[in-house]
Structure 1
Amino acid sequence: MAAATRAAAAALALAALVFFLHAAVHAGAAATLSQGQSLGATDKLVSPEGIFELAFFAPAGGDPDRRYLGVMYAQAAEQTVPWVANRDAPVNAASAYSAAVTAAGELQVLEGDRVVWRTNTTSSAAAAGTGNVTLNLGDDGNLVLSGAGGAGGAGPMLWQSFDHPTDTFLPGMSITLDRRNGTIRRTLFTSWRSAGDPSTGDFTLGQDPLGSAQLYIWRGGGGGNATAYWRSGQWANTNFVGVPWRSLYVYGFKLTGDPPSRGDGVMSYIFNMYNSSEFRFVLQPNGTETCYMLLADGQWETVWSQPTIPCQTYNVCGANAECTAGDDGQALCACLKGFEPRDPAEYGGGNWTQGCMRSAPLGCEANNVSGGVGFADMPWMKLPNFAVWGSTVGDDDACRQSCLANCSCGAYSYSTGTGCLTWAGDLLDIYQFPDGEGYDLHLKVPESLLETGSKKRRWITVVVVVVVVIVVLAGCGLLLWKCRRRIKEKLVIAGREKPSPQSLLPLREARQDFSGPKQPDQEEAEGGGKKCELPLFSFEVVAAATGDFSEANKLGEGGFGHVYKGRLPGGEEVAVKRLSRSSGQGLEEFKNEVILIAKLQHRNLVKLLGCCIQGEEKILVYEYMPNKSLDAFLFGLLDWKTRFSIIEGIARGLLYLHRDSRLRVVHRDLKASNILLDRDMNPKISDFGMARIFGGDQNQVNTNRVVGTLGYMSPEYAMEGLFSVRSDVYSFGILILEIVSGQKNSSFHHMEGSLNIVGYAWQLWNADKGERLIDPSIRAACSPREALRCVHMALLCVQDHACDRPDIPYVVMALGSDSSVLPMPKPPTFTLQCTSSDKDDGIFRDRQQADESYSACDLTVTMLHGR
């Protein structure tokens, strides 16, 4: 009896030991699986921050009896599996299955005693001579098998899932092409068979094995029997030629390694982000590559996808033909200029597989290879495949001459992103993008075709000019008839009579005591449909008021021109903004500012008193701000109470522009020099030359002409031309940081590890040293709680993605209340990415240095082009 009792006790103790060993790796806490331990059917590894988990799963919508070991997003609302171990060897749900780190140092998936999948790292572990092999799951989703010391310690890494991807490209991974030692090694991503079946599918993504640095999607795998299904196009510093509207550089996507001209190097596309769980690229079962962004509610938002229409698939129209998308999205094919169908009989049924051929050969002569040929310009194109990169060609003209001098060159393209590209032979996979996207392709054709085209264009130009002249003359006649009385009053400008001081002002605005122009009758212009009339000054009166624009009266200058202090005949002080003739701000911006400010009246917006348009002179007359601009006044001694009042005043002005005004205006150039201060230090937003009016149902607009000031532009606006009211919110966040710190945004670029004030503020905030950001001159006397709350709000405003930033009504409410709890800001990935100390070799080091751009001045920029 005693022996039986002892045996039972021993068995119970052994069972307890097994239970506790199993519990050590059970779901919920462990991020590491040690040598000799295993994961059962209900066990899982969880990354340190709980972002990813490793466990067995049954695919949603798939066979419920099949189980796979996979890495999954723990915080996604629906099952999301970026990596699968035994994708082609599922285990049966009814069997005893597990995953274990063996004594020999490899990870295995077992069904009973049968090994269905393994890492094959036994020899690596033996060669390394390491014990205590562990399996670790990181917050980046990478599953790492390493020797003693773990993934973060001194032990060697034996294997990682990032080197063996399935269908998903995560931050921290790379798409690599290694052509050293005469062999080709590539990172390949393979789609699932279907949404419910993770087995190897029909499509594979990877780099072009020929070394062109392009990404391909192949149907039928990446081997010799595969056929190209999609091509990204050449890499152009921040995006792919085939995806011109999406700046992947913003998301941490870039090319590193040896340039494409060197056939024996290593090239890698890397994808680095500080929030590794936010974005993922997935090769879908249907061959579509899709970028997803994880939202706060756990749902996935589609950022972009390709191919989604026939024209985006590879070479759908055949050689020497271009594809354009019809209104229904279907492909419309046409031979390029100077080409004709290879087999005209096939084209009646829309079969373009044979492509096109030249109608006549190019006339290349022995002594003059460029004789008799020219170039037909093809804008907005996805550039053809099989380009030859001219590494020594530095500009468009040299690229053109290089192609002319080579009889076999049939086309060329040049841009700062791609450099000089030339093509010989057939031109494949050409797609014309809509809406002005894409790149210019110059097709070599006989001069006879260009002459015919030139004659036709000349006739079209003549007709257009005639029509325009008739319309303009008719419009001028109508305008002269309607303004005949005012013309009579202004005859002095034409030199028909000697001017008098009164006649130099419009009759309606003249005052007997010359006390200055009256306010417009409808200051608010918020309803009623009445026309807002703005006083017009003559150039002579404005010149007299400013002492003939003397240097002594100059208040400042910028990219637009100069601002002068003036005094009207009645004694009223004014600020006169005289646009330079060479200014990037032209007539359209001038008219824009006149129309907007005349209709917008708010205590935190500068008041426009009148304007002057005479000849090439474009002048605006404002109320005078004795304390000049925030840019000139802030970066000295200014107490905290005044600074906080300025922050609140700017926010109220933006609230009026974004919500309370009927026009709903986006300023687009909010910066310290455009905030003026009156006698009581009340801030007033000025300079509406770049502003845009939003329609009632518009939330976001795309523009090809990016205007504003570097350092204040939001990432989506600077890189892609997308702007919204939250673009102003980003600029406002920069202003808050400047006001709190007492330093200009551009003054931080000399600081190690920080490109601008955003990166510096985040580093201090993240290290719980936010008080160091406060201006030392006010640090002791200010309210630290209030100042840090402003810094917190600023970091919310400068988040990378517009959807993460608060709107201005929330900002105004939160600044006026200490009780509301502010959410935690996300890291400014774009800013921090630009400060990376990683250096690449060759031309890619130069590219990276060129991309790390900042502005040491705050002149408004009007020459950038968003994609």
Structure 2
Amino acid sequence: MLNLVIASDTLSPGQSIKNGERLVSSGQSFELGFFTPENSQYRYLGIWYKFSPEKVVWVANRNNPLSDLNCVLTFNDERNLVVLNRSKSIIWSSNSSRVLRNPVAQLLDSGNLVVSDNMSSHSGEWSWQSFDYPTDTLLAGMRMGWNLKSGFEWRLTSWKSTDDPSCGEYTIGINVNGLPQIEMLRRGSTKTLRTGPFNGFGFPGDPSTKSTLFKPWFVYNETYVYLEFESSRYDIFTILTLNQSGLAQRLLRKRESSTWEVMTSSPHDPCDHYGRCGANAFCKRNEEPKCQCLQGFVPKSPEEWQLFNSTSGCIRKAQLNCSQKQGFLKLSMLTLPDLIDFWINKNMSLEECKVECLENCSCTAYANSDARGGGSGCLMWFSDLIDIREFEQDVQNIFIKLSASELGLQSQKEDIDLPLYDFSTIAVATGHFSQTNMIGAGGFGSVYKGNLSMGQEIAVKRLSKGSRQGLEEFMNEVLLIAKLQHRNLVGLLGCCIEGEERMLIYEYMPNKSLDYFIFVWKSRFNIVLGIARGLLYLHQDSKLQVIHRDLKTSNILLDADLNPKISDFGLARIFGGNEREARTRRISDVFSLGVVLLEIVSGKRNRGFRHPDHQHNILGHAGPWSFYMNLYATPFIASQVERCIHVGLLCVQKLPGDRPTMSSVVFMLANEEAILPQPKQPSFFMERVPSSTEASLIREDLYTRNIVTITMPEGR
């Protein structure tokens, strides 16, 4: 005869639980027994909260109910836990593959019913546990996910109705195809909700994993992929349930409370419904209409969109064609699309991913697969982009492939009379913009050395993404330098405009810029003369009248023969018409040349120089010419040095009207017989000079433009 056990937390062979009897966990949190749902005539074995019997968290025989009260839970001869009906037929069994000598079933205070040998407290020694077979509720410590080695899955399945715990229409679990995603399915195949993919931090768009009342854990390795949580407070119970209507709800209840409160519910709003806006569109949570096509796409059915039915999605304005130029549109503050037709490589960088997507005609978008540490890995899509929503955090960007015309690049390219390079070509040439190939950096980007496939060495100036000022200067430089050619101007070989990428491809200057060599190079006169001739070409001899406006030693490059090349035309301007105004503005370049000239002769930087006896900079030594002669200790031709000093001081005179034109500068430098006027006060004092019409013209535009000067605006 079987012994009856009431109000205990364990069950051993020879003991049983009958209708009306229960196991109670040691902490009085959970009970196990037989129950009948409201408006039902069937009996089920289940587990519920002791203080909330209506909240059933686990059902053993959910798809095989008992039709009478003659039911019993016990161990059979095979040491399996079983539910028997009136005729002693097995209605449900734990069906453990491990055979135990002295099995004991115990209801833990976590709500887990476990079977072990001699009440082992170690989970690894349990032959069976109810946590491995969740129904519609995820308790603290339960898993939702996969054992990848065994192929075993933990998944929630809704009740069929409030009075029928059999498997309902909805399931929620983790899809491990590619990157983990939380998915809710209806009838086993129709997606109704999706969060993810997992980006290294979590599942973007999942509200059920954010709270101070519990700590979510996500395990992702070669053996396991699962989500679980633990409670942060012993007096508060939290659970995740999936109801028969397809709502995944995070519920909360204090031990002394009489009701359960809903913390979160998913789907929470229309944007949470899977594919709410169809293909190639995104859903806006706080705006109407909810749906908007991605840039470069239009509604597939405009009539339906006008009726606020956007499930048909969007199609491209211009179809992608591998024979035409393409680029990428960067989108942020959005969830990534569903992983349907995709490819993943966790070892690639974002730049390598971009090149791979450009070279693959079927690729429609790409992103990092892992958002941690600034991003890593490559994720590419090859078809329509489904289920994109606004997201409040900007942790992961996606780059949508579009034709050049849809990116607004075609009009720019048509205005540029230069060869256009593919991004992939430049990426390969620079070793995917590796740090070892970086040869310079500035406010608007970095400069890389590269080698084209034919062996030509190039220098690539890559504009920083998102720089509005840099973009304007990029276009200015491209349009100007493409129309200018001179042996003392840097040669522009071409440019690259794809997506957000803006790059200038120059001839490579192996000797870097003048500010690097100014203190060690002894053959300086030819550099001075070359710079002057380059400026004269810009001001007078080119088909355009160009004012450089940013002349300094760092913007003068040296080729293999140490010939100077003026570069960086981002601030340059074309002037014509008003000759007086144009001359006034050209004088600013003359001043800059004077500073560069004096720096070359003295071997000292204007901005960094300080004399031990006073605070004058290089320009403050206009009077004692011996100062420059003493600094210049290397062999030289005295007349050339004196002439350079003299011309340099003429260029930096305080009043702009006293400064020579570039044609005069070149003439004075190149002709030893030229008679040079006596230079006046240089522009280095901080005193105020009476304003003139000419000085006023300069004040408006040049005070903050030329970084080599330290004067007040009236002094220029």
Q: Is contact 2:213-2:232 (8 Å) kept?
A: no
> Once the two structures are superposed, what CA deviation does each residue of 1:614-669 show, in whole Å capped at 9, x if it has no partner?
xxxxxxxxxxxxxxxxxxxxxxxxxxxxxxxxxxxxxxxxxxxxxxxxxxxxxxxx
1:112 aligned residue: 86
Secondary structure of 1:325 counterpart: coil
Q: 2-side partners of 1:257 and 1:377: how far apart?
A: 28
Q: Is contact 1:241-1:438 (8 Å) kept?
A: no
Q: 1:131 aligns with which of 101, 105, 110?
A: 101
> Once the two structures are superposed, what CA deviation does each residue of 1:495-550 show, in whole Å capped at 9, x if it has no partner?
xxxxxxxxxxxxxxxxxxxxxxxxxxxxxxxxxxxxxxxxxxxxxxxxxxxxxxxx
1:49 aligned residue: 27
Q: 2-side partners of 1:80 and 1:118: how far apart?
A: 22
Q: 1:84 aligns with which of 59, 72, 83?
A: 59
Q: Is contact 2:279-2:387 (8 Å) kept?
A: yes
Q: 1:312 aligns with which of 268, 272, 279?
A: 272
Q: 1:410 aligns with which of 353, 364, 368?
A: 364
Q: Is contact 1:36-1:103 (8 Å) kept?
A: no
Q: How does 1:162-201 map to 2 (within 5 A)?
A: 162-180=131-149, 184-201=151-168
Q: Tell me the amino acid that sits aligned with residue 161 of structure 1.
A: S
Q: Is contact 2:237-2:255 (8 Å) kept?
A: no
Q: 1-side partners of 2:122 and 2:20: how far apart?
A: 29
Q: 1-side partners of 2:247 and 2:388: how far apart?
A: 19
- Closer/same/farther in 2, CA of residues 156 and 177 from structure 1, 3 Å limit: closer
> Once the two structures are superposed, what CA deviation does each residue of 1:675-718 show, in whole Å capped at 9, x if it has no partner?
xxxxxxxxxxxxxxxxxxxxxxxxxxxxxxxxxxxxxxxxxxxx
1:232 aligned residue: 195
Q: Tell me the amino acid that sits aligned with residue 129 of structure 2.
A: Q
2:111 aligned residue: 141
Q: TM-score, normalised by structure 1?
A: 0.43
- Closer/same/farther in 2, CA of residues 254 and 306 from structure 1, 3 Å limit: same
> Once the two structures are superposed, what CA deviation does each residue of 1:54-93 show, in whole Å capped at 9, x if it has no partner?
122233xx225332211111234x621110112123324x
Q: 2:119 aligns with which of 144, 147, 150?
A: 150
1:391 aligned residue: 346
1:440 aligned residue: 397
Please say if 1:295 is aligned against 2:237. no
Secondary structure of 2:167 counterpart: strand
Secondary structure of 1:96 counterpart: coil
> Once the two structures are superposed, what CA deviation does each residue of 1:296-330 show, in whole Å capped at 9, x if it has no partner?
423433222211222211112222122223558xx
Q: Tell me the amino acid that sits aligned with residue 82 of structure 1.
A: V
> Once the two structures are superposed, what CA deviation does each residue of 1:108-161 show, in whole Å capped at 9, x if it has no partner?
223312436322527x35xx3x322221111111111223x1232799432211
The structural deviation recorded for 1:384 is: 0.2
> Once the two structures are superposed, what CA deviation does each residue of 1:275-316 show, in whole Å capped at 9, x if it has no partner?
687321111211121122332423433222211222211112
- The structure that has the greater radius of gyration is 2
| Structure 2: segments with no counterpart, 5+ residues | 413-467, 470-716
Q: Is contact 1:321-1:356 (8 Å) kept?
A: yes
Q: Is contact 1:136-1:151 (8 Å) kept?
A: no
Q: Tell me the amino acid that sits aligned with residue 332 of structure 1.
A: K
- Closer/same/farther in 2, CA of residues 154 and 269 from structure 1, 3 Å limit: closer
Q: 1-side partners of 2:9 and 2:62: how far apart?
A: 22
Q: Tell me the amino acid that sits aligned with residue 331 of structure 2.
A: M
Secondary structure of 1:199 counterpart: strand
1:253 aligned residue: 216
Q: 1-side partners of 2:213 and 2:103: how far apart?
A: 38
Q: 2-side partners of 1:163 and 1:154: how far apart?
A: 12
Q: Is contact 1:105-1:121 (8 Å) kept?
A: no
The structural deviation recorded for 1:399 is: 4.7
Higher relative contact order (CA 8 A, sep 6+): 1
> Once the two structures are superposed, what CA deviation does each residue of 1:406-454 show, in whole Å capped at 9, x if it has no partner?
4433223346347443322111111124x56674332222232332899
2:39 aligned residue: 63
The structural deviation recorded for 1:171 is: 2.0
The structural deviation recorded for 1:210 is: 2.4
Q: TM-score, normalised by structure 2?
A: 0.51
Q: 2-side partners of 1:239 and 1:73: how far apart?
A: 30
Q: 2-side partners of 1:297 and 1:98: how far apart?
A: 32
Q: 2-side partners of 1:36 and 1:103: how far apart?
A: 10
Q: Is contact 1:412-1:441 (8 Å) kept?
A: yes
- Closer/same/farther in 2, CA of residues 180 and 159 from structure 1, 3 Å limit: closer
Q: Is contact 1:245-1:437 (8 Å) kept?
A: no
Q: 2-side partners of 1:107 and 1:235: how far apart?
A: 38
- Closer/same/farther in 2, CA of residues 131 and 443 from structure 1, 3 Å limit: same
Q: Is contact 1:372-1:446 (8 Å) kept?
A: yes
> How many residue pairs end up in the alignment?
406
- Closer/same/farther in 2, CA of residues 32 and 323 from structure 1, 3 Å limit: same
Secondary structure of 2:43 counterpart: strand
Identity of matched residues, %: 32
1:26 aligned residue: 6
Q: 1-side partners of 2:410 and 2:231: how far apart?
A: 50
The structural deviation recorded for 1:31 is: 0.7
2:240 aligned residue: 281
The structural deviation recorded for 1:274 is: 6.5
Q: Is contact 1:108-1:115 (8 Å) kept?
A: no
The structural deviation recorded for 1:33 is: 0.7
Q: How does 1:760-779 map to 2 (within 5 A)?
A: none
Q: 2:51 aligns with which of 75, 96, 99?
A: 75
Q: How does 1:749-828 map to 2 (within 5 A)?
A: none
Q: 2-side partners of 1:255 and 1:353: how far apart?
A: 33
Q: Is contact 2:404-2:410 (8 Å) kept?
A: no
Q: 1-side partners of 2:180 and 2:114: how far apart?
A: 28
Q: Tell me the amino acid that sits aligned with residue 56 of structure 2.
A: V
The structural deviation recorded for 1:165 is: 0.9
- Closer/same/farther in 2, CA of residues 351 and 83 from structure 1, 3 Å limit: same
Q: Tell me the amino acid that sits aligned with residue 119 of structure 1.
A: S
- Closer/same/farther in 2, CA of residues 36 and 454 from structure 1, 3 Å limit: farther
- Closer/same/farther in 2, CA of residues 279 and 453 from structure 1, 3 Å limit: farther
Once superposed, what is the RMSD of the aligned Cα atoms? 3.4
